[in-house]
Structure 1
Amino acid sequence: MVDVVVVGLGPAGIVAAHVLASAGLSVVAAQARADAGGRAALVSPAPTVRTHDAEEALPHLSPQAGRDEIGGSKLLAAPQAYRLDEWSLRGRSTADRCGGALPTDADLVDWPIGLDDLAPWYDLVERAMAVGARPPTPWTDRMSRAARSLGWEPFAAPAAASKDASGLLDDSGVEIMPATVTALLRGSTGAITGVEYVDALEVTRTLACRAVVVAASVIPTVRLLLLSDITAAGKVGRWFMSHNSFVVHGDFPGVDLGRRDAGPASAVAVAEFEGGGFDHTGLGFLGGSILQAAMTGPWTDDRVPGAAAGLDPATTNGAEPEAWVRANHASIGTVWAQPDQLPRWDNAIDLDPVHRDAAGRPVARVTFALADDDARRWEFLSERAAQWLRESGARTTWRPPLAAQPLGTHLYGGARMGDSPETSVVDSFGRFHDVPGLVIVGSSTFPTTGGRGPVETIEALSWRSATQLVEDLR
């Protein structure tokens, strides 16, 4: 018997394990062994995907983007460390203020906590992760000047000192167990009693505990809950959302933008088109995104096709677009957006009735489609990104087409937080409403996406949830 089992050691699990063990609790962190591609076959088998529930779900070629190893998906991305804005947490109650109309099929809700509640936890994370702005570069300086000339207020993107937060586990007393948790076990009262897992020798075992913290990414979290017959009366897996991130490129002929000189965490951003920061009257959508110009180059071979998508052949003087991008990559600048997406009941994760993983268990089935307001939000934001690039000297701009990203790294929902068990799965501390001893941490608890990266909020919420669990177990 141990006090707590933490499932997964991505950013949420690392923080939770650190806090729990530092308080003197016995903590076992179950972390599956990843293959050469960074994925564990029993944790993240490729799901099936469809756009609506009347469509046959087809097996996807790959699992959700990310990594099943200590550090998780944070290892793949720039360690940017944004706090969410107020609108992201209060979108439902403030929608009228920005002139937007809520689509009838969307289920936008306020978070059960506000920025004041999160502020001290953000502070803790920022100290632990050494969050600060990276030095400016010629590219970010150029884009800062252009933003100011447009009347916007640019700011340096905050970033952690490192992608790797696993230093929090050093000398913490956390026991890291190479294992795949396959089921959450409950007693006769419905409370958590332990976990079932497959160990490194592929032997199925059980471990008794007082509480479980599920800290996996969204699809594995939802799948584990459903495989354990934990459904919250059909709400687990619902209100699934994705950051359908997109880019706009600009061509600066003859100018080496110097994007080799710093990593993508070096960026300048503007927030004028995020959340409730602008008038949405007549636009046909709510929410928005920060726009950021990051050090996203030079292009590598696997990224060239994406950079060439949407490029007008007239720009290339007849050259094949991919070859033109390779030849001119030093002169191509990019603006990124991570737009809000509204929660909808029909965008969901459940268990596929046909397809199985290597152990014979159902894989996840993802039902996901973009809505009209997603397209309108993209049109609006991409034009502002193009305007920013043109102001900074771009000769021409182009954008790849909008695409649904149900298996991206920034996924949300499926176990959303709220005060009422009728409309949510967990409370503001990630505690399952109807399963004592079960805590969920990570972006699966987010009621909304926000228009900026989620990692610091994931870590702040996990710190808050783990601190409350310490009190609950005393």
Structure 2
Amino acid sequence: MTEATPVVVVGLGPAGVIVSRVLAGAGIPVLALQPQPEPAHRSPTASPPPTVRRSPAETAAPARAPHQGADRLGGSKHLAAPQSYRLDPGAFDSWPLSIDELDGYYRRVERAFRVAPRPETAWTARMHAAALSIGHAPFAAPAAASGDTSALLRHPGITVVDATVTRVIRDSSGAVTGVESIDASGQRHRTACRTVVVAGGVIAGIRLLLLSGITGGGLVGSGLMSHNAFTVNGLFPGVDLGRDRAGAASAVAISEFEGDRFDHAGLGFTGGSVLQAAMTGPRTAAWREACATGLPSATAGDDPVAWIRRHESSIGTVWAQPDQLARPENRVDLDPTHRDVAGDPVARVTFDLADDDRLRWRFLADRMRRWLEAAGAGTTWAAPIEPQPLGTHLYGGVPMGADPATSVVDSFGRAHDTPGLVVVGSSTFPSTGGRGPVETIEALAWRTAERLARDARRAAPSARSR
């Protein structure tokens, strides 16, 4: 093994960046291992395309592309708006901590990244007025000033190496002793350490634990959740909405249909979502194809994409990011036949929607249409909800909790049965909530890093006395 380092951080997405900086600022040297992506934003060793199926009865087929996100410094935050929501308090009902325990860390994140609403645009002003007209309480979506967090890594206590961690190494007692990695040239290395912080994406992190023989009593990988996000579109005839004149972080939102803020009696589902009218950013060919999905042929004729192109400046959209329940049948494990370029099994994702997901979609889609119509939309349409197990908003698989029988890590991300292993990120979330996860990921990571620093300071005197 190479010379020991106190802490190895695996992945420099939103959580890894914060953990590295907070630990280094507390005087704890950090070695951060960050894989380099291919053009599709994903590393062929850290995040090879998984196989996917809807049920265990099916044979999983290779995904056509890597799952969404980015194996680059800053991770998926570059692909987000970068909207920066706190979770609704009700989302914490199943968590081993309350939103009050995160309040101070939310505040630190908001100061560090200058979180605030973006300036109003013609589109958001229109949708704000429409929401008021039908009795809602609209608000401007909060967003970080930038998605680039690289400045936080400019600290002498942080060493960043381009490499993919392929295994967490443990001793006979199960405690962490180091990591195995592959560098950019394909060379394999072993690095000794006392603590490993797994901070990558959900699927990549679960795969790393399973490749390392860490199963959490069979819980690792179980209960995968996704924001199966969807949109409802509306045509505002003859109106240039100017939706490509600001970034997608510029949005107005309503929260009356989120969590338990409305009566669910007889609806057949729990939870909901924040609904938001956001800017589009560049109108690309992919955007036109997505926007055309669900457009009735009676409206668009035989070429719905061409219809979208003709009317695109007058099309407005409302987004939803609905809750989803954690179900054991939705899971990530290792594929028994497919392997990556290094010879390791790729992740196998088993995931499908349930009846409550579809009922929640119908309910929210109806409210989204009403909002668009109140703003002046003449025609509205939506694509049916589809499973999105490879999206950017994934959750679960390494759930936090107080009971080792039902959870893998505690509220600080420390593994119950693997001393020295810490997991940060949305894989530890026991529930999704109905809004974006990035600020909560960052707040939890800050809280975890401070606890690790306190633990290290307590252990230091006894270490020196030996």
User: Would you say same fold, with TM above 0.5?
Assistant: yes
Say whether residues 1:6 and 2:15 are aligned partners: no
After superposition, what is the alpha-carbon deviation per residue over 1:75-114, rounded to whole angstroms, capped at 9, x for unaligned?
Answer: 1120100000011111xxxxxxxxxxxxxxxxxxx10011
Q: Which residue of 428, 447, 458 corresponds with 1:445?
A: 428
Report what 2:101 is aligned to: 117
Report what 1:94 is aligned to: none
Report what 2:52 is aligned to: 49
- Partners of 1:18 and 1:172 within 8 A in 2: no
CA displacement at 1:136 relative to structure 2: 0.4
Report what 2:32 is aligned to: 29
Q: Which residue of 394, 399, 412 corresponds with 2:395?
A: 412
| Aligned-partner Cα distance in 1 for 2:18–2:174 | 27
- Partners of 2:52 and 2:349 within 8 A in 1: yes
CA displacement at 1:361 relative to structure 2: 0.9
- Alignment-mate amino acid for residue 151 of structure 1: G
Q: Which residue of 343, 359, 378 corresponds with 1:376?
A: 359
CA displacement at 1:29 relative to structure 2: 0.2
| Aligned-partner Cα distance in 2 for 1:319–1:50 | 32
Write the mapping of 1:267-416 to structure 2, written as runs, cut at 5 A: 267-316=251-300, 318=301, 320-416=303-399
Say whether residues 1:198 and 2:182 are aligned partners: yes
RMSD: 0.9
Q: Which residue of 149, 162, 172 corresponds with 1:165?
A: 149
Report what 1:79 is aligned to: 82
Q: Normalised by the size of structure 1, how large is the TM-score? A: 0.95
Q: Which residue of 46, 65, 70 corresponds with 1:62?
A: 65
CA displacement at 1:261 relative to structure 2: 1.6
Report what 2:221 is aligned to: 237
Tell me, what secondary structure is at the counterpart of 1:382?
helix
Report what 2:42 is aligned to: 39
- Partners of 2:140 and 2:253 within 8 A in 1: yes
Report what 1:226 is aligned to: 210
After superposition, what is the alpha-carbon deviation per residue over 1:411-446, rounded to whole angstroms, capped at 9, x for unaligned?
Answer: 000101000000000000000001111100000000
Report what 1:105 is aligned to: none
Tell me, what secondary structure is at the counterpart of 1:363?
strand
Say whether residues 1:148 and 2:132 are aligned partners: yes
CA displacement at 1:297 relative to structure 2: 4.5
| Aligned-partner Cα distance in 2 for 1:171–1:342 | 40
Deviates more, 1:290-299 or 1:127-136: 290-299
Q: Which residue of 18, 31, 34 corresponds with 2:21?
A: 18
| Aligned-partner Cα distance in 1 for 2:53–2:206 | 17
After superposition, what is the alpha-carbon deviation per residue over 1:149-207, rounded to whole angstroms, capped at 9, x for unaligned?
Answer: 11100000000000111211123531001111010011122111110111222111100
Tell me, what secondary structure is at the counterpart of 2:181?
strand
- Partners of 2:333 and 2:348 within 8 A in 1: yes
User: How many pairs were matched up?
Assistant: 454
C-alpha change, 1:431 and 1:115, in structure 2 (3 Å) is: same
| Aligned-partner Cα distance in 2 for 1:287–1:432 | 29
| Aligned-partner Cα distance in 2 for 1:359–1:443 | 27
- Partners of 1:15 and 1:459 within 8 A in 2: yes
CA displacement at 1:59 relative to structure 2: 1.1
CA displacement at 1:319 relative to structure 2: 6.2
Report what 1:260 is aligned to: 244
Q: Which residue of 230, 235, 239 corresponds with 1:251?
A: 235
Unaligned runs of 5+ in 2: 458-466
Report what 1:96 is aligned to: none
Q: Which residue of 432, 437, 443 corresponds with 1:460?
A: 443
CA displacement at 1:298 relative to structure 2: 4.9
- Alignment-mate amino acid for residue 122 of structure 1: Y
| Aligned-partner Cα distance in 2 for 1:299–1:395 | 21
Q: Which residue of 411, 417, 430 corresponds with 1:428?
A: 411
CA displacement at 1:233 relative to structure 2: 0.9
Report what 1:98 is aligned to: none
| Aligned-partner Cα distance in 1 for 2:309–2:240 | 13
- Partners of 1:297 and 1:329 within 8 A in 2: no
Q: Which runs of 4+ in 1 moved over 2 A?
A: 313-316
| Aligned-partner Cα distance in 2 for 1:320–1:393 | 25
- Partners of 2:28 and 2:157 within 8 A in 1: no
| Aligned-partner Cα distance in 2 for 1:243–1:114 | 22
- Partners of 2:24 and 2:155 within 8 A in 1: no
- Partners of 1:297 and 1:330 within 8 A in 2: no
After superposition, what is the alpha-carbon deviation per residue over 1:326-363, rounded to whole angstroms, capped at 9, x for unaligned?
Answer: 11110000000000000001100000111111111111
| Aligned-partner Cα distance in 2 for 1:398–1:188 | 58
Q: Normalised by the size of structure 2, how large is the TM-score? A: 0.96
- Alignment-mate amino acid for residue 330 of structure 1: S
Unaligned runs of 5+ in 1: 91-109
Tell me, what secondary structure is at the counterpart of 1:416?
coil
| Aligned-partner Cα distance in 1 for 2:336–2:229 | 30
Tell me, what secondary structure is at the counterpart of 1:196?
strand
- Alignment-mate amino acid for residue 344 of structure 2: R
